[in-house]
Structure 1
Amino acid sequence: MNSIKKVLYADDDLDDKAWVSEACKSMASPMYIDFVENGKQVLAYLANCNEDSKPAAIILDLNMPTLDGRQTLQRLKAMPEFKDIPVIIVTTSASKIDMEMCKRLGAAMYLTKPDTYTGWQQILKQLEPLVID
């Protein structure tokens, strides 16, 4: 039986966070999602984690204030203590340039944000294999 796994989600869009939270609850997903608003908060969150409290995965929006998804991804992959945490980009950008850059920087997945509740449930289902043992 799988235990609940923590996922850190960085996005400044309140509507997207509400949709993700509701989709996770309705699916009885084995993921628990902690939300922050930007990359600077991701780094602060991780600085307060020990080995047992690290998230199983990190989800980043590309377009966030303070420290965007690309900058955050690059910093995470340069830090030995966090480089093995899968980072998933979920963004409105369908740009091949953004996609290629994120893959090159070490993103595990690059997904385009859906505009439906069902779409968010599908995104969460895609993330489960990265998070669950």
Structure 2
Amino acid sequence: MNQLNFNILLADDDVDDCDFFKEALEETSVKANLFMVHDGVQLMDYLEKKTQDNLPDVLFLDLNMPRKNGLECISEIKQNKKLAELPIIIFSTSLDSEIVETLFKKGASYYIRKPGDFSKLKKVIENALTTAAAENFKQPARASFVLQP
């Protein structure tokens, strides 16, 4: 795992959650470059400016963002030929079963409920990246879609 180096894009409007994610990621064994955007419009602008060759390896996407929410973003991403294969890990405070089901059907790679505990956050980020990378970021069976810390 240590030989891999991920380019991760985090889309989250909560600055504290972004800082928490960054600190947790730095304390995992995963090597990564982290880029952040803070709303859905910024996310789509960021992705549109990228070429196929320099897209992030994975997007951690919050659902509740201003200007354009995560559901709108995933729909746009999956309909865009250049972006459609971008692995998306939903990273949200809610765990509504209907929303989880919708996101699975829309093609998200995994779903993580944001843990409030720092050690659990480190564990779930590392687990998400190692599991997703081992599966070439392909969507798992529905039973394995929601990752737990």
CA–CA separation in structure 2 for the residues paired with 1:51 and 1:78:
15
| Displacement of 1:131 | 4.5
Q: Give unpaired runs (5+ residues) of structure 2.
A: 137-149
2:25, 2:126 within 8 Å by CA — same for their partners in 1? no
Higher RCO (C-alpha 8 Å, min separation 6): 1
How much has 1:104 moved relative to structure 2?
1.0
Q: RMSD between aligned alpha carbons?
A: 1.6
1:35 equivalent in alignment to 2:36: yes
Q: Compared with structure 1, are the counterparts of its residues 120 and 108 closer, same or farther at alpha carbon in structure 2 (3 Å cutoff)?
A: same
CA contact (8 A) 2:28 2:126 kept: no
What secondary structure, in the 3-state scheme, does the structure 2 residue paired with 1:35 have?
A: strand
State the match for 2:7 in structure 1. Answer: 6
Q: Residue by residue, what CA displacement relative to the aligned partner does 1:15-41 show, whole Å, maximum 9, x if unpaired?
A: 111111111112242222111011111
TM-score (norm 2): 0.83
What amino acid is aligned across from residue 97 of structure 1 in structure 2?
A: E
Count of matched residue pairs: 133
Give the aligned partner of residue 54 of structure 1. Answer: 55
Contact 1:57 1:131 in 2 (8 A): no
Is 2:83 the partner of 1:71? Answer: no
- Percent identity, aligned pairs only, is 26
* Unmatched tracts of structure 1, length 5 or more: none
Tell me by how many angstroms 1:116 deviates. Answer: 1.0
For residue 41 of structure 1, what is the amino acid of its counterpart? Answer: Q
Q: Do 1:31 and 1:128's aligned partners in 2 also have CA atoms closer than 8 Å?
A: no
Compute the displacement of 1:118 (Å): 0.7
Q: Counterparts of 1:34 and 1:50 in 2: how far apart (Å)? A: 16
- CA offset at residue 58 of structure 1? 0.7
8 Å Cα contact 2:9-2:35 kept in structure 1:
yes
Q: Any residues of structure 2 matched to 1:1-133 within 5 Å, and which?
A: 2-129=3-130, 130-131=132-133
* AA at the equivalent of 1:89: I
Question: How far, CA to CA, are the matches of 2:93 and 2:85 in structure 1?
Answer: 25
1:126 Cα deviation after fit: 2.1
